[in-house]
Chain A
């Protein structure tokens, strides 16, 4: 069985209970149809690992004891943000800001799962990361695409859960280091490589005859993807050396800057979902010096990414999302730090059909509670799915036979973001 046949068959079988009929029509029902908008085709998520302080970035509280050391600057959309985000201030007219995201998970691991899947972790259901839904949609649209549907940079990303291994993220451990194993380590003719792959396929076909099941099909699908990637013409997307010194300088240095640059190259090459992780935001002590430094790196790289996506025209159908584990406590602790605060965090969105320049929700003068328009995580994920043309209410069947929807049905789309 060759790769093309296998992938077509595999994608149908791999969803572990997923019905093909529902899958191929994944794009047919446009959730944005009522508003007359076109969904975005791809998505880039910038994930602030550890949980960024909302007060010291996008929801400053000048004049409050909780406000901390930073001053604010006015942005192009008129909304005030931290003085250490000058580049983004210049670009806020392209972005929408949510200041009222609220959740309850204050443990890093659980919060990360929530902020990647839209569901709080619970026994029995392995919810896929949002990227797996986007990857699935893209892979169904173009099953012969040699590059992976989703790439996760600097962080492991979220498992594809019940959607199956075919939609797993391709992980890049550190964007500043070369991506390994994209080509054989010893020179080899193409004929010999093909011969090895053919032998491997025949052996796997034999084994699968009396060992069916998701593990066997899953491992086979991943093997086929590896073979396809090895032969892909788009592999140059991983090579940052191809960029000019001037471009690299615009993004800055460090694995987050390199990750944003790689993300741009991957989106250009046809990858549908890219997540770039940025570590270091768990600022229980010495918050201000650390956030100042982190803000500098974030501001430069994110600004450059926006500029390049706008410049290439991809911005019109690319959704950009900035978020993290959770927010941080308004009160400053004895070590000059801020602790976990899931009750309030900020989210930044842009691109595609997002109506830019607006702020959704607000918090009180000390940043301790939400006074207007609380947004839940299911609300956010319903909106993200809609923007990408994914039906949030589609029902999937888990390997254990349980029906679950793409996004928690409690979620309501944030219509202002799209109006």
Chain B
């Protein structure tokens, strides 16, 4: 939900309490990093420069001509969608375009990264990745996990610590929201299958490795992960105890760790799942994707050992970099980002190795990583072709080499939040109407979530969309009701401007976060007809409606 409607609940300093209980070692008593310190800026700037040096070399080798740099307006819109999940407001466009400081893009990024909206937007994306399909919409797990992630992203908590907390925590969910990651696997289906899903998700998100096919048969690619290896990795979760007491309202969820016991399975028949009556079942000894645990890892609970192994694996930082890069460019350095299992860490592309190394040494702060990427020249390339001559294969090569920005679909949340901003719905003065719209919006978001229910990290060149999405924009309540010019709405305010010229300019800033070209001004003049002195509201409404339907609004480019 949009920040303005759903204020985050205060966390009451639970985080430090949580750590004390869990006995997880903290480096010191220092408070979490404050947003973008001078040293973080220096690290990020150096990283941005290295990205550009590496890419320049690749472009030269591949004979790619990079697209020109984005205009300020293009940059503002792109970085707002990526960092805070919505288009900029007209006031934000006015302010940024009016700024005269030479490093105003860096200043903008610092402000965005430090905002609550950044933490909320990225927490939402992480939650979508971390929860299994059925639990994504379930309040019991979703609400605490999203709250926890917004908190840790807001304070820049080191990501290795976050992963430890997600994997190794114990206690009550009511006190420790991060336990939602485990609690989401508390019911539904076969218990060993739930743990298998938890293991597969952890391997995918934290190690960029898809291993789930080895659940049923040996992984066919290099390096081979056998079915035995798969279940031996699941075995690290073999002692977790997830109790859900549904007699309590809300249900009381407790996560514990037994001091003994092993995952017991029958793996003899590769086509059948474990069966508790099966005499062939046996205890499965834990190992890490085929590697036996080393002596120095043999400390702490099973899940603590697993967490230690994960955060020390070279794929850990590479996965974080690959995922973040994919979110910001629409495609991965290694494509797809979760295909690291078949890559030798010694032979990662230089760009990936460099950013992974920086992520490790700068203290695993996701915000510094984001800043490093978005202030590179590569991120700031236009999505237009560099010259007159262009065709499909040139476009594809340029986008694959990060010499040109891709046109990316907005996610459900990005589109929904952007529609609210562009129509000014939340500022409408008619209270009864606003209330009705608020209710409708909640319904609409559920609707958007369903019809947009796709994997937002899908293949770089695939377009995933469907007709219900298009119908929702064309015939949905939000687009149709919210473009109506009312007191306080963006169109209502726009019509208070005196000249038609000024109104057209404001309309472009509202819908497209930029100024219209001369050609577009003439076109808009024609579209508005002769009777557009402010009284012909339907003409303005129709134009705004058409703009909200358009590809330029519904994509990040």
Contacts and interface: CB of A to CB of B under 8 A. Distances in A.
A192 to B, nearest CB: 7
A206 B385 CA distance: 15
A312 interface: no
B527 A107 contact: no
A225 interface: yes
B555 A219 contact: yes
A170 B384 contact: no
Interface stretch (B36-44, B103-111, B318-326, B539-547): B539-547
Query: What does DSSP make chain A's interface, helix, strand, loop or mixed?
Result: loop
A261 B268 CA distance: 44
B467 A168 contact: yes
Interface string B179-212: 0000000000110010010001000000000101
B506 to A, nearest CB: 17
A219 B471 contact: no
Interface stretch (A175-183, A263-271, A349-357): A175-183
A388 B555 CA distance: 37
A192 B480 contact: no
Contact of B212 (A104, A107, A183, A195): A107
A204 B551 contact: yes
Interface string A186-205: 10000010011101101110
Interface string B519-557: 010010001000000000010001101110111101101
A341 B465 CA distance: 33
B475 A400 contact: no
B407 A329 contact: no
Interface stretch (B11-19, B55-63, B456-464): B456-464
B481 A185 contact: yes
A192 B484 CA distance: 14
B272 A107 contact: no
A126 B462 contact: yes
B26 interface: no
A226 interface: yes
A91 interface: no
Given A185-B476, A196-B546, A208-B551, A223 B470 contact: yes
A202 B523 contact: yes
Contacts of B546: 196-197, 199-200, 202-203
Given A181-B472, A210-B385, A105 B216 contact: yes
Contacts of A161: 462
A106 interface: yes
A184 interface: yes
B95 interface: no
A159 B210 CA distance: 20
A162 to B, nearest CB: 8
Interface in A381-415: 399-400
Interface residues of A, number: 74
Contact of B464 (A104, A165, A210, A284): A165
A226 B542 contact: no
Interface residues of B, number: 77
A23 interface: no
B463 A203 contact: no
Contact of A200 (B196, B215, B390, B550): B550
B241 interface: no
B395 A168 contact: no
Interface string A221-246: 01101110110000000000000000
A214 interface: yes
B101 interface: no
Interface string B471-509: 111111100110000000000000000000000000000
Interface string A155-176: 0100101001100111101000
Contacts of B538: 192
A342 interface: yes
A72 B273 CA distance: 26
Contact of A334 (B215, B277, B467, B477): B277
B466 A169 contact: yes
A400 B474 contact: no
Interface stretch (B246-254, B417-425, B445-453): B445-453
B189 A226 contact: no
B272 A226 contact: no
Nearest to B476: A181
Given A168-B467, A192-B542, A229-B467, A110 B277 contact: no
Interface of A: 16, 104-107, 109-110, 120-121, 123, 126, 148, 156, 159, 161, 164-165, 168-171, 173, 180-186, 192, 195-197, 199-200, 202-204, 206-208, 210-216, 218-220, 222-223, 225-227, 229-230, 282, 284, 329, 331-335, 337, 339-343, 399-400
18 contacts: A106-B273, A107-B200, A107-B215, A109-B133, A121-B213, A161-B462, A196-B542, A196-B549, A211-B407, A211-B551, A213-B406, A214-B461, A216-B407, A222-B469, A284-B189, A339-B272, A399-B461, A399-B462
Given A202-B546, A207-B552, A214-B462, 12 more contacts: A123-B210, A171-B466, A181-B471, A182-B475, A185-B480, A203-B550, A204-B552, A207-B551, A213-B395, A215-B463, A229-B467, A331-B278
